[in-house]
Structure 1
Amino acid sequence: MTTTYRVAAVQAEPVWLDADATVEKTIGLIEDAAAEGASLVAFPETWIPGYPLFLWLGSVAGQVPFVGRYHASSPTVDGEHITAIRRAARRTGVTVALGYSEKDHGSLYMSQTLIGADGSVFLHRRKLKPTHVERSLFGEGDGSDLKVVRTPLGRLGLLNCWEHLQPLSKYAMYAQHEQVHVAAWPAFGLYKGLAYALGAEANMAATQTYALEGGCFVIAPTQVIGERALETFTTTDDQRALLAKGAGNSRIFGPDGTPLGKPLDEQAEGLVVADIDLSLIDLAKNAADPAGHYAKTDATRLLLDDRPKSAVIRPGEVEGPYFPELDESPADGAVA
């Protein structure tokens, strides 16, 4: 297992509601990460096809015109878009933590897929409980989505956005001895100055706390809101007042909560990059290991049901999404 390597957190604007163009941009960012010497690159929540900002900007009737477009732009796990990104990971030798809106027939999920440097899939998960108005568009995950997996880069786990405000979900991850965590966020431009809880300061504090509590490295990618977002999602002055440009705030934290890497300006696109050393986790956990020597099992314990739950169960059927084997396509990394 590699214990010292470079990681990268994406800070960029998706091509809103355009899966083809966003996948092309994704592949370019993977290539940029490879050029920077990164072994792992992490993308924001619902990076493809962009976070559904329209959910927060008006009535349900006003959202309806976007719903069909959002469905049409959401990848399936076995479709050309995810396959192209898997090929790009294999071609560049970079492990990719991808956030996207997953289309599963008539339902959407706020999903994350961890793709290995050979294009294989280490982990696929769905956000357990979409936040507030997100629940009008997305379905829920289950306990099987609280999972840490063993990889050549250590024990890796992923969560989305306000899952980092769920103490029991966080503890379920800590208890699996997570070493590197991807905390995927959208942009922080919604209701900027009006709702502190939706802002960068509060949510990066929660992210930093995750690193400190869990004694792990945390990579936190974010989206950027540019002029195209305003053109796509706003038609009135009231809507434009609720959506601030910029709002990128990607960060990387060490297992003692120390910020790592050089942050970008909130309107800039690029990568926040840092070198990590997993041996530092032992030093952090020597002081406080929340699911080890610092636990108090006679007082508090967590009940975790991590069995997958399906609406229909057929004898002998394996539950979960199916990712097809990659072929040896000459156009490795291209969208078909």
Structure 2
Amino acid sequence: MSSSSAKRSASTFRAAVVQAEPVLNDTAETVAHAVDRIAEAAREGARLIVFPEAFLGGYPKGADFGITLGSRTLEGREAFALYFAGAVDVPGPEVRSIADAAREHGMEVVIGVIERSGSTLYCTALFLGADGSLRGKHRKLVPTALERCVWGRGDGSTLAACQTPLGTLGAAICWENYMPLYRTSLYEQGVDLYCAPTVDDREVWPSTMRHIAVEGRTFVFSACQFLRGPDPDQPPLIRGGSLIVDPLGDILAGPFYDAATILYADIDPGAIARGRFDLDVTGHYARPDLFELRTKT
């Protein structure tokens, strides 16, 4: 932990970031895996746990669903139907199982899911309270590249951050972290605990997370999937790189690559006020006379 965070307040708590492998096309098994990880983190004293993007429902990296410009294949439609069947309803039985585990262990849970709503899928982050409630959800606003062919776009109805006993929680999913106006909307809501569930395992990702931590003077929790391919002798399809960063950009845990793990860090909320002493981008360091953000909810 950085020197700015060394002096802990009475409200210091432990947070966990999960880097793990979902079971593609077996959502029930993945739910059981998530419940086990919550119990494991609870044994380590964690009160907040963050899972990767698309953990329930899966991220089918490398799949093309038979899509070429102007045409689709029957095999691709069958692949999508299988993927659709593995998505979860919100609320629904799979979400209830995770929420029950959150309540049992007194844990705030942020988890990426593939949400099924009608006949459309969304890449969604769920906020589940330590009391077992569904505090809220956020749907990814702009699916990236080919993701747009299998996921719908989120809208303004899921932009709100969540109030928790640990602080204000918000989430930006994967490349939403490259959307400056969305980040600003989270800063305006006073996000203290900024969650970045992702599948981006590139070397540049940790620098993005550190920039956001410094920009927003917020704790950043980036949970990336670890996903092996069908050939165990080949590099993983998604190699991880999860990390936890404090409000001055110091890395508290990670980045960790090439294996499943749970990262832990002790979080001192007092570090946020110390960080915003000289930079509050939507407060004393803003120029509302020159710039205005309008958010349509």
Does TM, scored on the shorter chain, surpass 0.5?
yes
Q: Which residue of 2 aligns with 1:99?
A: 112
Q: Paired residue for 1:151? A: 164
Per-residue Cα deviation, 1:67-98 (whole angstroms, up to 9, x for no partner): 11110000101321111111111111111101
Evaluate the alpha carbon distance shift between residue 182 and residue 56 of structure 1 in structure 2; reply closer, same or farther with a 3 A threshold. farther
Corresponding residue for 1:261? Answer: 253
Q: How far is 1:271 from its partner?
A: 0.5
CA contact (8 A) 1:3 1:154 kept: no
Aligned to 2:98: 85
Per-residue CA deviation, residues 140-182 of structure 1 (Å, 9 max, x unaligned), is: 1112322222111111111100000001000011111110011
Where has structure 1 moved over 6 Å in runs of 4 or more?
none
Could you say which residue in structure 2 is the equivalent of 1:13?
Answer: 21
Rounded Cα–Cα distance in structure 1 between residues aligned with 2:50 and 2:114? 15
Aligned residue number for residue 68 of structure 1:
81
State, as a whole percentage, how many aligned pairs show the same letter. Answer: 35
- Secondary structure at the counterpart of residue 33 of structure 1: helix
Counterpart CA distance in 2 for 1:298 and 1:78 is: 42
Q: Deviations 1:316-336 (Å, cap 9, x if unpaired)?
A: xxxxxxxxxxxxxxxxxxxxx
Contact 1:10 1:44 in 2 (8 A): yes
Q: Kindly indicate whether residue 125 of structure 2 is the aligned counterpart of residue 123 of structure 1.
A: no
Q: Normalising by structure 2, report the TM-score.
A: 0.90
Deviation at 1:118, TM superposition (A): 1.2
* Alpha-carbon distance in 2 for matches of 1:107, 1:246: 25
Is 1:277 aligned to residue 268 of structure 2? yes
User: In structure 2, what residue type is equivalent to 1:111?
Assistant: T
Mapping for residues 26-65 of structure 1, pairs under 5 Å = 26-55=34-63, 59-60=67-68, 61=73, 63-65=76-78
1:302 aligns with 2:271: no
Aligned length: 284
Q: Which runs of 5+ in 2 are unaligned?
A: 1-9
| 2:18 alignment partner, SS class | strand
Give the 3-state SS of the residue equivalent to 2:240 in structure 1: coil
Matches within 5 A, 1:188-227: 188=201, 199=202, 201-227=203-229
Deviation at 1:221, TM superposition (A): 0.5
Q: What value does the CA root-mean-square deviation take over the aligned residues?
A: 2.1
Which residue type is aligned with residue 40 of structure 2? D
Q: Cα deviation per residue 1:297-334 (whole Å; 9 max; x = unaligned)? A: 1221111112xxxxxxxxxxxxxxxxxxxxxxxxxxxx
Segments of 5+ residues of structure 1 without an aligned counterpart are: 189-198, 232-239, 307-336
2:91, 2:168 → 1: CA distance?
25
Please state how far the C-alpha of 1:187 moved relative to its aligned partner.
5.2
Q: Name the SS for the 2:277 alignment partner.
A: helix
Distance 1:63 1:54 in 2: 13
